Amino acid sequence: MTDRSLLEETYQTYTKAVRLVPRTTEAGVRNDRDAVADQNPRARSASPQDFYTNRFIDELEQTGFMRELAARYPEVLR
């Protein structure tokens, strides 16, 4: 990429959107499922909970890893 201002703007936009603890949400999976269902109607009957787990994120949070990461990179993570 050669446009530094565009790169900076993109970086700033995404740092505001990225959450410290990147949990998958049922609503997010449901949205993806519904988008797939346009091509494959059988997908609509699938349960969103069958496609994700936050178990590993929970473990990282419980061990303090996410806190350490936020302390190390405060300008990026919030």
Question: Which residues, in sequence order, are CB contacts of 53 under 8 Å at separation 6+?
Answer: 24
In a domain, 38, yes or no: no
Other Cβ atoms within 10 Å of 49 Cβ, number = 10
What is the total count of domains within the chain? 1
Alpha carbon 61 to chain centroid distance? 15
In a domain, 52, yes or no: yes
Domain with 68 in it: 47-78
What's the predicted TM-score (pTM) here? 0.65
In a domain, 22, yes or no: no
Please report the pLDDT score of residue 11 as a whole number. Answer: 84
The dihedral region occupied by 64, where left means phi > 0, alpha psi between -120 and 50, and beta the remainder, is left
In a domain, 10, yes or no: no
CB 77 within 8 A of CB 70: yes
Please report the pLDDT score of residue 78 as a whole number. Answer: 54
The DSSP call for residue 38 is T
In a domain, 18, yes or no: no
In a domain, 30, yes or no: no
Please report the pLDDT score of residue 77 as a whole number. Answer: 59
